Structure 1
Amino acid sequence: MAQEHREDAATSYGGLKVPIAFAKHDETAEAETVVHLEEWKRKAYEVLSRLREDLRARGPVDADAQAEIVYYLSPFAGDGPWVLERSRNVALDILNAYVISSTDLQEQVLRGFIKPIFQPNPHPSVNIETGRKLPRPAGGPLGHLDYMEGQEWKNHPEVSHVISWCLSHTDTRSVEKLWHLFVPPIMTMLDDYDAKYKLRGVQLVSQLLEVSPPDLLRRTGIDTLILSSLKTCLTFLQHRETPDLIRATVPTSVRLTELTTADGSETRFDQLCALLGDCILGNIWLYASRELDALQASVDAIPILVRTLGVGTSRYLKGLIPQLVFPLIPSPDNGASVEYKLSSLQALLAVVEVSAPRIPKWRGTILEAILKCWVDIPSNATAEETIQLKDHCRAVCAVLWTVCQSVAEAVHGDYERILSLNPKLFGPLLQLP
């Protein structure tokens, strides 16, 4: 009976096994391959449609069939390059109608389908039976090279989507039971040498943190392992995925620190300072200074980081303020897009708010940049972008006025002098109380 069941599954789901070619979909430029993959996507929709009709005729399905449905159809429930919108709709219909999510079902999917794929390449720092951090890396100093060999799991583009589905149907009560099945594959992707797999790893870590009790992260030692790996992610600066990797990694690092450290503790302060000072100012802004997309991505991450760090941000103002005001100042060397200017204004607003005691000495630098941005809106800005730029400039000026009350007379004089230059132009910007 088991053999018959496997044969039936192969017949039903064979057309839904995601081709290996999709693992390199972004790099492929051969017209023949592109045409082949597009044809496969159309055929996959037809297979999904037939499967839905077959299931309707069959009625309720047992646990084994539900596990197969999850493995083969959950990759179509997301946004993989193999997914057509109509395929997604059919896949979601089937998953919602025939799958009853439970811890046992997720364990069956992870143990029966995902674990065998990653088993040939165990992560050297993770106990694959418990999901705990090993006291020392397996295989010695060069053990990490062994798990980079072969990498059979890269022949399965769908695996991260299946893990993501299981995480989205897991809660804090059941995640510990599944810990040893989630952690090893996630850490394998997070620590891969390829930026696109690191990105998927970060995204899965973000999901894992949503359902992981802080005590579980600390008790298994996975908190320190993930934190170190996330820091490494921010050194991948010359890749197509770099901007997305930065935008995903910084908030995930902040969330991990919030979960595993006490509010106001030295440990939390040190981890956040390392993220801002070492990873962003000392690494991204130093070694990716010509990569505007990477710089903008790092600036996008500033607000969530500095608002968590709080007044401790003040120690980095010498590095933060000049970098944030530069995109706002028109010059031949400044190729900042409208989106980058908006990102800088949002980050500047957050920095000014949390660093109030040290901001008065920087008010001249900030005001100069805001004024130049206000009077020189890029010609390619849309009407909506123009409104956003002006609103953000006004917001920074309003907060600057508020936090500079310790030198109220001086800042009031600054604003009055600016207004006297052109009340009609600068009145809408400053809006003095």
Structure 2
Amino acid sequence: MVTSTELSLNTLLKFLQIPAEYARYEQIVETEPLAALDEWKCRTKNALGELAALLKQRQADEEKGLVFSIQEQADLICAVVPFAEGDGEWRSEEMAVVARGILETMLFLPPSVPLLRHILTNNIKPIFRSNPHPSLNLETGRKLARPAGGPMASQDYYDSQTWKQHPGVGVVVQWCANCIEPEVYEELWHLIIPPTMALLDDYEVKYKIQGIQVVSTMLERVPASLLKRTGIDGLIHISLKTCLSHLQNEETPRLLRSAISTSLTLTQRTTDLGTSEHFNQLCALLGEGIISGIWTYADDKPAAVLATYDALPPVLEALGVGCSRYLNVLVPQLVHPLLPKPLVPFGPELQIAALRALNVIIEQCAPRIQGWKTVILDAVGRCWVTMYDSERDKAAKGLENLDRDHGEYSFFYATPMP
């Protein structure tokens, strides 16, 4: 027999199901669909408040011996987490506060291993079942020796992506990855890796970013031996390198920063410092990924270049004096924004980021930097003079405007100090 409380809980959870239209929210230009989504958002905010009140009552019942079933626990988590975390268009900060409050009051959190297994098996796995990753053994979470389905499997993989009809699923996957303890990862490996790789290897940048976020979360907890033994470290390396070739999207700067940082972390977690493998992977990230993969094609994309400058210092520090093999490219690239170019001025953000990266190069490559000191000092000096003249012109213009607006004080500002 279904009680009225259970009926209310099921009804509220249905209200919290995120419409599939949010998967293509940035492409919607018609007024009517946007208005319908805004209306849903208002109803959902009220539903979250009602759910919070209902859970307080259920918690009182739980103390009397009436507990949540594991299916109810899983459904609650999958419904509430996308509103508490992430940056989806379906949520607002007000909704996030209520959702976080709901999660904090759930007596079954942090989740147990059986609950995590239930979520990944019954709530997440069916969503991705129609799009099996061609390079994964879905039963073990291991990398396959060759793609299932032949050479064209990667193209077929993008057909019928029904999982995109479930906006917010990536947030739940990341939440699960953050809740799995290091010693439990091997037990749940075959459940967490397939949705992670589906996100990371998607052709849309927004899903790649979600996949990188999940991988970054995993790297804080997962044993390095598990990554290497299953071959997933190499698979992730290839996927992150592919991310560096997406330069045409408005989310490109965010993607590049995340991909470079996560690639560096993956190398540091899965290789030993001082080994050739460690050095070669860092060189591949800097030489093939950033220099050849991004800078070669990003002359007209200052936002993408800025993202690489921001992400560069940790990579240079990890390489140490080894980055001296790239000085012929690094120094000219980084001094370029410092040189005055009246027709194509560079913003101060790009110049500051370039100076920070140059500072790391000078520290790490001290034995080899002697030959570049004239080039670097010339660029830094020209940059300083240009900025000084610009600020002086702005100050003079400001005084002229002040004289014009407040004529009675013009004599005071025009008279030099004794």
Q: Taking structure 1 as the reference length, what is the TM-score of the superposition?
A: 0.84
Q: Which residue of 2 aligns with 1:206?
A: 216
Letter matched to residue 150 of structure 2 = G
Give the CA deviation at 1:257: 0.6
Q: What is the alpha-carbon distance in structure 2 between the residues aligned to residue 34 and residue 310 of structure 1?
A: 51
Q: Could you tell me how far apart the structure 1 residues matched to 2:27 and 2:345 are?
A: 27
**Which residue of structure 2 aligns with residue 18 of structure 1?**
18
Partner of 1:387: none
Partner of 2:369: 359
Q: CA deviation at 1:148?
A: 1.1
Q: Name the residue aligned to 1:121.
A: 131
* Equivalent residue number for residue 144 of structure 1: 154
Q: Is the 8 A contact 1:307 1:350 kept in 2?
A: yes
Amino acid at match of 2:31: A
CA distance in 1, matches of 2:29, 2:298: 27
Alignment match, 1:36: 36
Separation in structure 2 between the aligned mates of residue 323 and residue 3 of structure 1, nearest angstrom = 68
The offset of 1:157, in angstroms, is 1.1
TM superposition score normalised by structure 2 = 0.87
Give a deviation string over 1:84-129, Cα, whole Å, max 9, x none: 1121111111111114222221111111111000010000001111
Give the whole-Å Cα distance in 2 for the aligned partners of 1:346 and 1:28: 40
**Contact 1:74/1:161 (8 A) holds in 2:** yes
Counterpart position of 2:104: 96
Q: Deviations over 1:287-323 (max 9, x none)?
A: 1111010111111111011111111100001111111
Q: Report the Cα offset of residue 31 of structure 1.
A: 3.0
- Shift in Å, 1:269: 0.8
- Is the CA contact (8 Å cut-off) linking 2:9 and 2:54 kept in structure 1? no
- The answer to whether residue 92 in structure 2 is matched with residue 75 in structure 1 is no
Secondary structure at 2:182's aligned position in 1? coil
User: Root-mean-square deviation (CA), in Å?
Assistant: 2.0
* CA gap 1:6/1:272 in 2 versus in 1, 3 angstroms: farther
Q: Deviations over 1:47-89 (max 9, x none)?
A: 0001111111222333222111110000011132211112111
SS in 2 for 1:325: helix
| Contact 2:9–2:51 under 8 Å retained in 1 | no
Of all paired residues, the percent bearing the same amino acid is 44
1:192 pairs with one of 202, 208, 217: 202
**In 2 relative to 1, CA 85–267 (structure 1 residues): closer, same or farther, beyond 3 Å?**
same
Classify the secondary structure of the residue corresponding to 2:277: helix
Letter in 2 for 1:90: V
Q: CA offsets per residue over residues 229-271 of structure 1, 9 Å max, x none?
A: 1111111111122111100000100111111111111111111
SS of equivalent residue, structure 2 residue 211: helix
SS at match of 2:246: coil
1:246-395 equivalent positions in 2, closer than 5 A: 246-377=256-387
List runs of 5+ in structure 2 lacking aligned partners.
63-67, 392-418
Aligned length: 381
Large movers: runs of 4+ above 3 Å: 1-10, 378-381
- Maintained 8 Å contact 1:338/1:378: no
Q: d(CA) in 2 for partners of 1:352 and 1:25?
A: 46
